[in-house]
């Protein structure tokens, strides 16, 4: 087992993928603070407009989430990932260019957010389906843990860097960092040498709609994937509410500067980094299946501290809450993503990932719209209370499922066989 855990350090193509993704995550973490601040400080948007922007960023998962999986099961994934990186770089670069020309508008932000999200759908579905063919299923937990660790490290430092760049250069210029990071990711992917297998041809007489339905039915009828999907989708819906109002809460309700907001945004990254470093240990100690519900049950209540924050020492409550949630989210994600990659047949990987992405990320734009409405109706603090309380409900999906009685993957495979 010790040898398996060190294999990927010497896997050239994985380290290229890992390195490119690391740079991309740093850029995305910068943009995560810079883009909302463009809307808040440069364009002076309302809570409802922030809800629209939040929805636009993830609306593509509702629009093309399902067919993306079926298309990607018919083609090699790496070229799609390359194209998605280049498209996202060009779109994000248009924001500072438009601002420098005096043409930037809220409408352009919406279009860039929507099209960038569209490219992200194809990249993410391809990436999760590509990893097993690149490294093999036996080291998926190690691969996902390494990728999550650098994502979390980027989330620790990226928002602080982004907040500092916003104060020094302005929010629009800071977005350019993310555009450059996607070009670095594309260059790293271009250097991968491992030959990707040609996808199996579609069954004769099988059309796109039939293939989409097969992937969706596989997820919804699976006794273990269904509750995981329900838990993640519910959590993400309320996270969408939180995302729609959190920058408004920090900037307007608490009167914090961009630099301070960036530092507060690092909290989730610190928790996530700790989660990534300890996720493999948690899976071994508690069981890969058990840690899926345990991580959510223990850490989600920390979110209730966030709406209690005030512009004094109680700002620390935001940091504590975000660290707790960030830790739980990453431990949960490493466990459940590795779990579902391991139990799904190769021919359904793309459609399984796309179906789950459609169901769990499709709730984010809905949550963003609801968050914008609640921000106008209840105020941003009231909307945060709804978001944090709703996230607590998500764990009920997995607590009430067979996952509560399963420890590891062999037991899960036996249960699925019995159900079949």
pLDDT in tens, 92-104: 999 999 999 999 9
Taking residues 227-255, what's their average pLDDT?
94
| Higher-scoring residue by pLDDT: 145, 56 | 56
Taking residues 8-14, what's their average pLDDT?
75
Q: How confident is the model over 271-301, as pLDDT tens digits? A: 888 888 898 898 888 988 889 999 999 999 9
Handedness of CA 70, 76, 80, 81 (dihedral sign): positive
State how far the Cα of 308 lies from the Cα of 295, in Å rounded to an integer.
23
pTM, 2 dp? 0.77
- Is a pLDDT exceeding 70 seen at residue 420? no
Taking residues 6-26, what's their average pLDDT?
77
Q: What pLDDT is stored for residue 108 in this prediction?
A: 94
State how far the Cα of 130 lies from the Cα of 197, in Å rounded to an integer.
10
With cut-offs at 50, 70 and 90, classify the pLDDT of residue 368.
Answer: very high
- Is a pLDDT exceeding 60 seen at residue 1? no
Q: How confident is the model over 173-216, as pLDDT tens digits? A: 888 888 998 999 899 888 888 776 666 665 555 667 787 788 88
Q: What pLDDT is stored for residue 5 in this prediction?
A: 45
At residue 35's C-alpha, the angle toward residues 47 and 16, to 5°, is 140
Looking at domain 8-190+207-419, its CATH superfamily turns out to be MFS general substrate transporter like domains (1.20.1250.20)
Comparing C-alpha atoms, which of 205, 214, 17 is closest to residue 126?
17
State how far the Cα of 320 lies from the Cα of 222, in Å rounded to an integer.
36
Inter-CA distances, 70 with 43, 208, 232, 325, Å: 39, 7, 22, 33
Q: What residue segments make up the domains of the chain, in order of their start?
A: 8-190+207-419
Taking residues 381-397, what's their average pLDDT?
95
Question: Of 149-158, 179-188, 203-212, 398-407, where does the model show the most confidence?
Answer: 179-188
Q: What pLDDT is stored for residue 357 in this prediction?
A: 78
| Higher-scoring residue by pLDDT: 122, 2 | 122
Question: Residue 61 is encoded by which pair of tokens?
Answer: 């998962």
Taking residues 21-33, what's their average pLDDT?
80
DSSP letters for 150-202? HHHHHHHHHHHHHHHHHHHH-HHHHHHHHHHHHHHHHHHHHT--SPPPPPPPP
Mean pLDDT of the chain: 84
| Higher-scoring residue by pLDDT: 45, 371 | 371
Q: What pLDDT is stored for residue 342 in this prediction?
A: 78
With cut-offs at 50, 70 and 90, classify the pLDDT of residue 314.
Answer: very high
- Is a pLDDT exceeding 80 seen at residue 233? yes
Q: What percent of the chain has pLDDT over 90?
A: 36
């Amino acid at each position: 087992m010790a040898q398996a855990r060190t294999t990927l350090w010497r896997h050239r193509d994985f380290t290229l993928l890992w390195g490119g993704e690391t740079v991309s995550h740093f850029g995305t973490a910068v943009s995560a603070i810079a883009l909302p601040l463009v809307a808040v400080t440069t364009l002076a948007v309302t809570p409802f407009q922030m809800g629209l922007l939040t929805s636009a960023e993830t609306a593509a998962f509702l629009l093309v989430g399902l067919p993306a999986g079926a298309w990607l099961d018919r083609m090699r994934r790496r070229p799609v990932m390359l194209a998605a990186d280049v498209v996202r770089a060009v779109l994000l670069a248009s924001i500072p260019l438009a601002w420098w020309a005096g043409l930037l508008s809220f409408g352009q932000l919406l279009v860039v957010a929507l099209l960038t999200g569209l490219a992200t759908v194809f990249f993410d579905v391809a990436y999760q389906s590509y990893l097993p063919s690149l490294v093999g299923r036996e080291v998926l937990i190690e691969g996902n843990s390494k990728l999550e660790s650098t994502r979390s490290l980027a989330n620790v430092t990226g928002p602080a860097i982004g907040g500092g760049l916003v104060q020094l250069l302005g929010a629009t210029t800071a977005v350019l960092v993310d555009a450059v990071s996607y070009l670095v990711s594309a260059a790293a992917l271009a250097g991968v040498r491992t030959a990707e297998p040609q996808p199996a041809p579609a069954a004769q007489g099988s059309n796109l709609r039939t293939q989409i339905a097969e992937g969706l039915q596989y997820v919804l009828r699976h006794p273990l994937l269904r509750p995981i999907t329900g838990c993640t989708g519910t959590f993400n819906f309320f996270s969408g509410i939180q995302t729609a109002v959190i920058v408004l809460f920090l900037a307007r309700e608490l009167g914090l500067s961009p630099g301070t907001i960036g530092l507060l945004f690092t909290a989730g990254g610190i928790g996530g980094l700790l989660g990534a470093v300890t996720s493999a240990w948690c899976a071994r100690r508690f069981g890969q299946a058990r840690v899926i519900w345990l991580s959510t049950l223990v850490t989600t209540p920390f979110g209730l501290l966030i709406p209690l924050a005030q512009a004094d020492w109680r700002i620390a409550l935001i940091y504590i809450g975000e660290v707790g949630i960030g830790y739980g989210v990453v431990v949960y994600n490493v466990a459940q993503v590795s779990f579902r990659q391991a139990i799904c047949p190769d021919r359904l990987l793309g459609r399984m990932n796309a179906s789950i992405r459609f169901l769990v990320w499709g709730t984010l734009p809905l949550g963003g719209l609801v968050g914008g409405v609640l921000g106008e109706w209840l105020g941003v603090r009231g909307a945060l209370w709804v978001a944090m309380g709703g996230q607590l409900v998500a764990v009920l999906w997995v607590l009430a499922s067979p996952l509560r009685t399963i420890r590891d993957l062999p037991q899960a495979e036996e249960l699925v066989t019995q159900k079949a």
